[in-house]
Every structure is written in C-alpha cells, then in structure tokens.
C-alpha cells in the first residue's frame, strides 16, 4: 500500500514562517499602493493559518505562554526604540522637539486619565484593570507607527514625523510608571492612609522610585552607555573604521547592553535604549563616522521587521483563539472613542501652543497607533500581579490594536503617503540597501 506523506506540525511552522519572511521582501514594491496595509494583512494571515491548525500561544492562560509573549514583544519594542533613536536627524532640544515633549507631558497623561475613567465608569473595570488598560493603550507604539515616522537617517524629515517618532521613542518608557501604578493598586489596593487621600506607598514607592528614579536612570544611564558604545565602534579597532560589515551586530549589541545594564539598576530600559541611540547620533554627528549610523539603523530595522512579521502572525492566531471572544458593543464603542476622540483631543490640546500648521497638528494628534508595546505591557503586568479583569483587559486591548493597525495603517497611506514621496524626491539619498557597507569605512 502506498504511504502518502503527512504534514508534521513542525514542517507547517517552518513553512509558514519562511513564507512570512519571503513576504517581507515585497514591502518596497507594494508600498506604493495605497490600499496595501502589510501589517493588517499579516494579522489576517495569522487568523487563516490558525484555522488550518497552526499552534497558538494564549497569554491569558498565564504560565509560560504569557512569559513568552512578554519577552518576545519586549525584544521587538527595544529594537524598534533603537531604530527610532537612530533615525531622527533633527538635534534633540526643546525648540526642535517641543511637539514631542508636549505630547509626552500633556497628551499621554490626559489619555491615561480619560481612558482609565472610561474603563471604570463605562466598562465597569476594577481600578487596577482600568489603569493597566489605560497605561498600555496610551503610548504611540514605536513598532506599528513606522508609516508616519521619519525615514532612515539622511533621508529628510518633517516636524510631524519628528514629533511622532520622538514621542513613540520616549513615551513607551514613560508609560511604565503607570503600569507599575496599576500593579501596585492590584497588589495593595487603594487605601487612603497617606497624604492628600493617597496611600503611603504612592509617595514612598511609586512617586519617588517608579516615577522619578527609574525615569532619570533610564535617560542618563542610556545616554552614558550609548556614548561609550559609539566611542568603541568609531575607535580605530571599531567596526565603523574596519569595513562596517557588522552593523546588525552593533545595533543588537548596543540595544541589549543599554537595556540590560540600566534594567540591572532598576532604571527603565525602554528609555535607555532610545537615549543610547540618541547618544550615538550625537557622538558621531559631523564626523567621518556619521554615515555608519545608516547601516546600524538598517540593521535594527531588519531585525525589527522580522520579529514584527512573527508577532503579527501570532496576534492573528490569538484573535482566532478567542482574543476578542465575548466582546460587547460598549467595548467596541470604547475602542472607537479612544482612537477617534480621546487620543486626538488630548493630542490637539497638547499642541495648542506649538507653532505648526493646522493640518500637521491634526495629523500628529490623530496618528497615535497602538500595537506591540501594548501587548508587552499587559503581559508584563499579568506576570507581576493578579488582575481580576485580565481577560477583559486583553479583549479590549485586542480590539483597539486590531482597529488601530487597520484604521491608522490604511489612512496613513492616503494622508501621509504623498508627502513622503515628495520628501524622497527632495532628499534623494542612496538607500542603505543599495550601498556597500564598506562605503562607511
């Protein structure tokens, strides 16, 4: 009797992942078509392969599943933050980055407050769950906001792109204090036994340590590590002076070093990675090694794209596994409220005194894309405290992420796309992919 070949699950996994990577090679060719939203299509692909029996990891089950999703999403976020920090050509100061700083200092706290209030008053979530949902969904995601961010180094950039890229680079780190606030509320409750109606731990632990100390250490520590790494790389024995063939290794090394060392002293590693990249740009600006940044950025961009393809496929399988099961009309309306009202209104308020054209102001306020950073925050919090409403938090976040990737992704092609093409013509730098690495030597 003839034995027909059978498909082993391992073979299916290899085949699907290989096909996903092959699909990434068509991004440049397909990017000129406005109706192409590659991240959204990858999510649909994940749903399709899940229906065919592709294995699924459900972080709601806790244990190793939530730990795996936490660390995979953590890795893609830090690589994305490194790329964002390297990409911005505009020097970092208050005048140049005022829009980004206002988005951080005004728009993000307003978004967190409004989202948490809606979570408690409208959706009926416990305070800890509402705070977690709000903190996870407030930051503009550095991974998924690629379409509206700056081009690679040397390609030219507009104030709108600088604002969104810088905001995405810093607000992921600044959202962490509010994730810890949610964890503390879940762990200790909110018993007003301290000053001004707040519990004692709010002042002694959260305000002084989780907010001020960790933010300061993240910024300063990341800058010092980034400066040291860039000094080594541009030294006579460094890669920038010896062929520039190891740019991907340099990108990964600097990212992991800054993240690991700063996290070791309880600073925010997300902020450290971004500021390490900014320190590298500052250290090489105007020197013979400045072009090397393009290759390092290209390396981080490649790593990010690979991980993103896998995570988008996972997100599709998560949706198929019931990530949005039990969704209510109120939760769908909540997602619409966040995307179309809360974030745009908070963004516009933060930019009222910023000198920019109204159209640019509206674009910056609207394109607060949600994505893989939100996945990381929820998985992280779930692994550090017990949240009674964790299933609802995952479900609502899944709705918002899916809607944001679809809505912002398609709209960016129509609203931002034409301007990007004009910028490319105004700044016809040769792409990294077409340049030999040894050109930076």
- pLDDT (tens digit per residue) in 275-288: 999 998 888 887 77
Is pLDDT of 402 > 50? Answer: yes
Least confident of 100-109, 236-245, 281-290, 409-418: 409-418
Is pLDDT of 19 > 60? Answer: yes
What's the pLDDT tens digit per position in 338-389?
999 999 999 999 988 887 777 778 888 888 877 889 999 999 999 999 998 9
Is pLDDT of 315 > 60? Answer: yes
Residue 34 phi/psi, 5° resolution?
Answer: -70, -25
Is pLDDT of 437 > 60? Answer: no
120-145 CB burial, b ≥16 within 10 A, e <16: beebebbbbbbbbbbbbbbbbbbbbb
d(CA 99, CA 363): 12
- The pLDDT, as a whole number, for residue 88 is 86
DSSP string computed for 138-178: SSPPTTGGGGGS--STTS---HHHHHHHHHHHHHHHHHHHH
Residue in the structure block whose two tokens are 């990409």: 87
- The pLDDT, as a whole number, for residue 46 is 94
Is pLDDT of 429 > 50? Answer: no
Q: Domain-by-domain residue ranges, the chain? A: 68-440
What's the pLDDT tens digit per position in 164-204?
888 888 987 789 999 999 999 999 988 766 656 688 899 98
- The pLDDT, as a whole number, for residue 7 is 64
Percent of the chain whose pLDDT exceeds 70: 89
Cα dihedral across residues 381, 251, 150, 354: positive or negative? positive
Fold category of 68-440 in CATH? Na+/H+ antiporter like fold (1.20.1530)
Mean pLDDT of 292-306: 86
Residue with more model confidence, 416 or 439: 416
Average pLDDT value over all residues in the chain:
85
């Amino acid at each position: 009797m003839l034995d027909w070949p059978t498909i082993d699950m391992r073979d299916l996994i290899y085949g699907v992942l290989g096909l996903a990577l092959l699909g990434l090679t068509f991004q440049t060719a397909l990017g000129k078509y406005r109706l192409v939203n590659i991240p959204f299509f990858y999510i649909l692909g994940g749903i399709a392969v899940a229906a065919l029996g592709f294995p699924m990891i459900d972080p709601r089950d806790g244990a190793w599943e939530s730990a795996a999703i936490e660390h995979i999403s953590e890795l893609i976020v830090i690589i994305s933050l490194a790329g964002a920090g390297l990409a911005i050509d505009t020097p970092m100061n208050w005048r140049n980055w005022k829009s980004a700083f206002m988005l951080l200092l005004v728009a993000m706290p307003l978004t967190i407050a409004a989202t948490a209030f809606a979570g408690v008053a409208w959706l009926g979530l416990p305070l800890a769950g509402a705070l977690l949902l709000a903190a996870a969904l407030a930051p503009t995601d550095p991974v998924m906001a690629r379409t509206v961010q700056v081009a690679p180094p040397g390609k030219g950039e507009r104030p709108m792109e600088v604002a969104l890229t810088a905001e995405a680079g810093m607000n992921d780190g600044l959202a962490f204090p509010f994730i810890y606030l949610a964890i503390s509320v879940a762990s200790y409750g909110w018993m007003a036994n301290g000053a001004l109606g707040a519990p004692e731990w709010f002042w002694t632990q959260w305000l002084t340590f989780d907010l001020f100390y960790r933010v300061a250490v993240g910024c300063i520590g990341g800058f010092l590590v980034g400066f040291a790494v860039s000094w080594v790389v541009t030294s006579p024995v460094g890669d920038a002076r010896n062929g520039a063939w190891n740019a991907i290794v340099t990108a990964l090394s600097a990212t992991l070093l800054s993240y690991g060392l700063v996290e070791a002293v309880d600073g925010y590693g997300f902020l450290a990675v971004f500021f390490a990249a900014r320190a590298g740009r500052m250290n090489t600006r105007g020197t013979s090694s400045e072009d090397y940044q393009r290759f390092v950025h290209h390396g981080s961009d490649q790593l990010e794209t690979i991980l993103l393809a896998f995570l988008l496929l996972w997100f599709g399988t998560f949706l198929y596994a019931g990530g949005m099961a039990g969704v209510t009309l109120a939760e769908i309306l909540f997602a619409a409220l966040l995307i179309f009202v809360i974030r745009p209104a908070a963004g516009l308020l933060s930019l009222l005194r910023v000198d920019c054209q109204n159209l640019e102001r509206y674009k910056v306020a609207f394109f607060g894309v949600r994505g893989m950073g939100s996945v990381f925050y929820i998985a992280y919090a779930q692994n550090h405290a017990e949240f009674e409403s964790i299933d609802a938090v995952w479900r609502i976040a899944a709705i918002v992420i899916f809607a944001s990737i679809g809505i912002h992704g398609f709209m960016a092609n129509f609203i931002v796309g034409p301007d990007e093409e004009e910028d490319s013509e105004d700044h016809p730098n040769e792409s990294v992919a077409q340049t030999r690495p040894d050109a930076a030597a």
